[in-house]
Every structure is written in structure tokens, then in C-alpha cells.
Amino acid sequence: MARKYFGTDGIRGRVGEGHINPEFVLKLGWAAGRVLGNGEGGKVLIGKDTRISGYMFEAALEAGLAAAGVDIRMLGPMPTPAIAYLTRTLHASAGIVISASHNPHEDNGIKFFSSTGNKLPDAIEELIEEELGKPMTTVSSSRLGKAKRLEDARGRYIEFCKSTIPSRLDFRGLKVVVDCAHGATYHIAPDVLEEIGAEVIAIGAEPNGLNINEGFGATKPRALASSVRVNGAHLGIALDGDGDRVIMVDETGEVVDGDEILYIIARSRLTNGGLQGSVVGTHMSNLGLEVALRDLGVGFERVAVGDRYILERLSEQDWTLGGEASGHIICRDRTTTGDGIVSALQVLAEINKTGKTLGELRSGMVKFPQELINVPLGGARAADVMASKAVVDAVRSVESTMGADGRVLLRPSGTEPLIRVMVEGREAAVVTSNANAIAEAVRHLVAA
């Protein structure tokens, strides 16, 4: 069934536009309560990031769930992975996150976790959409849901994060800068790092409802890199607004992206006997990661872009590790979803065990030069462009020239009328030339 409201990661958009308004979210809470409560009430957790509209949508969801006869536990500002963890460990029927992740404060969204701490299956989202098409009703007063605030949610999650690395490790003497993106980890990540013994400098940790992801966080690591250099820190950790992704900075201020973090964790797990199966990345993962893992004797599989698809593949095969260059790292042997704090702790543990710097750990993987060109479609259809003989021939020609030392990815954007042309290879000049050749073939067809 084609879904009207749910995208690949819940429902998201500009606040006050489309479906991101109080009236719709009220009914969404009711519809979700009807489906997830199975007609027997149940308990649903609600958490949010720090954007100002979270207060409004929190109240709307609470009212809708209560009208459906579902009890509510309010968590307040909490990272997305914390809500997944607490939903599972508190045996709730579901968890709801009010967040637009790395987007600016003008946006917001609603996403769900099942009772197991995983994202909802498509079939359940479709059932919620069916309920949204019905008139809203209210259960009798004696069956209305009750709301309580879970006062110790923060402490529970901090202890969980710490439990994902051995308690015997001593991080005293390690100076870390942590960038919380003025988001949901502002009152958690610094405390986790301090409690394991590190010296912590926190930046991007003063949310005011409007500054989430503004100049800070995993998508804007410049402030972190500067702070690491100025403070003489050993490394930096940048989280995004809802805390499910992480980018790091080494001792020289150089950015360490999700592909490199994934490589470090994979090699650590391999050394310690904790790596199960292949590592899963996406079609956008750097070819250097695939080559580096192959040199270690580790398999690597690619899936569609999105942590949802990574988790699906890991679950299907019962594998334990996957991630994206953007910093969504899933350590399935530790938790059920991408978790920026947990992923960073795995890297810190490897630094502690090996005595190596972050720069030294990343050096085992050499990133291949990558060129990405976005070509506007104009009035052309993406499917027609990608299937055309001229474009197919251009791609095949480049692939034949580059052989095993290169990779071509041609795909339509999921959000804009664009064709994305991506080429990777060992030599930057060759990569750029080949990307331009394919992009030109696309432009010529669009203009025809």
C-alpha cells in the first residue's frame, strides 16, 4: 500500500505546514494509540529533542493517546536512541520521538519505535494510516489514558551508555571536546564522558529552542575542530540534534566521518572476536571502507541509503555492525538503533585498549577521492534519463575504464528533482573527469 504520511523515517516537515501541525499530530497520537495499544490500553513513551515546537506536539500526542485509552510516560528532551532503549527496557507498547534530527528548528517530525526498540514495520505504519482516515473518537472517561513524567529517564540512559564498554577502562587523562548541537544530548553526553573519567569540554550545549543544529553538531564539525585545536584536546565528538549520529575529530582537528568510525569499530570487534558476519554500509559508503575491510578479511555489503535499510539487513542475517558516512552507526551487539554516544564510546574504548590516537586508528583506512555532481532534471523523468542509451553507455564506459579501482553510482534524489552522479576512484583527477563525463551525458539528455 502506498503510504500517504509516513516516509522512510516517520513523518517530517516544516512546522505549521502540511501534516506538521497540532491538529494532525493530535489525531496521529489517537491513531497510533488505537493500533499500538491493541485495544487494551498499554503504555507509550514520548520523548523529544530541544526545538521549541516540541512542547506543542508533545501536548498534542499526549491528548490523542489518552483519548485512545493509552497511558503515557513523558521523558522530556531525550536522544532518539535513548527512547528506543527505554521503550524496550520499560516494556512499553511503543516509543514516540518528536524530532527532525539534523534539520533546523523550523522543521519537526514524529517517529515511532516498537516495543522491541526497533522502528515500526511498514505494515504497522499502514495500519496507523488507516486509522487516520477514520473519525476520531474518545474512550469512556474510566478508560482514558493517564500521563506521568518519568523522572529518572536521563540517569537510566546514562548508565546504559556506560555499560556498552568495559567498566575497567580508565579514561583519566583523556581530554575530549563534545559538541551536542544544542540538541537532545546536551544534558547527557557530557555527563557520560565525565563519569567514565575523561576531562570534558562541552560546546553546543546551551539549547534555547531555536538554535538546534545551528553552527554546531555532526553536520557542521568546524566549531568542534577549532575547539579541539584551541584546547589541545585528544579528540572531539560531534552529535546531531537527536543524538543518533556521530562525527569525530582527531587530535589534529581533522574530521573522522562515519565510514572511518565504522572501520575502527569493525577492526576492534574483529581483534576481540566480537564481529559477527559482514559489515553493512550503503551505496554512498566510500570505496576505501570496502577495500580496507576486505584487506582485513571482513565482508562488506551495500544497501539503499538510510539506517532503516542497514538495520533490516543486519537483522535478516543476524550480523552486528553497519553504518553510514553521515555517522549513523548501528552496533547491534549493543543496542537496537543508531546511537551517537554509544558509537563514540566504542572508539574511545579502542583508543584506551591500544594506546593509539584517533588519527592513528583511522590511518588503516584510506578514503578514495569521491566526486558528487547534482544535475537538475528540468521537466525530464528520472527513470527515462537513467534508462537512456546515452547515459547507460557513459556509465559503462567509465566503469570499464576504472575497473575494480573505481565505482559509479547514478541515482535520483529522493527529495529534489535531481539526478545524483557519484564517481569514486584512486586518482582524484580521473574521478573528477569521469564524473563530469557522465554528468554531461545526463545534461545533454535533459536539454534535448
Shared-domain flag, residues 22 and 61 = yes
Tens of pLDDT, residue by residue over 206-225, are: 999 999 999 999 999 999 99
Shared-domain flag, residues 295 and 330 = yes
- pLDDT category at 403 given cuts 50, 70, 90 is confident
Annotation marks residue 101 as catalytic: yes
Percent of the chain with pLDDT over 90: 87
Tens of pLDDT, residue by residue over 262-316, are: 999 999 999 988 899 999 999 889 999 999 999 999 999 999 888 889 999 999 9
User: Would you say 185 and 194 are in contact if contact means Cβ atoms under 8 Å apart?
Assistant: no
Q: Which of 101, 227, 285, 343 is catalytic?
A: 101
pLDDT computed for residue 448 by the predictor:
72
Task: Check which CATH number belongs to the domain holding 186 and give it.
Answer: 3.40.120.10
Task: Check which CATH number belongs to the domain holding 439 and give it.
Answer: 3.30.310.50
| Mean pLDDT, rounded, for 340-356 | 98
Our count of domains for the chain comes to: 4
| Mean pLDDT, rounded, for 142-151 | 95
Give the domain range for residue 336.
257-340+351-367
Cα 347 to Cα 325: distance, rounded to the nearest angstrom: 15
Whether pLDDT at 39 is above 70: no
Residue 159 CB contacts under 8 Å (≥ 6 apart), including other chains = none
Shared-domain flag, residues 29 and 110 = yes
Whether pLDDT at 417 is above 90: no
Please state, rounded to an integer, the average pLDDT across all residues of the chain.
94
Tens of pLDDT, residue by residue over 49-76, are: 999 999 999 999 999 999 999 999 999 9
pLDDT computed for residue 415 by the predictor:
66
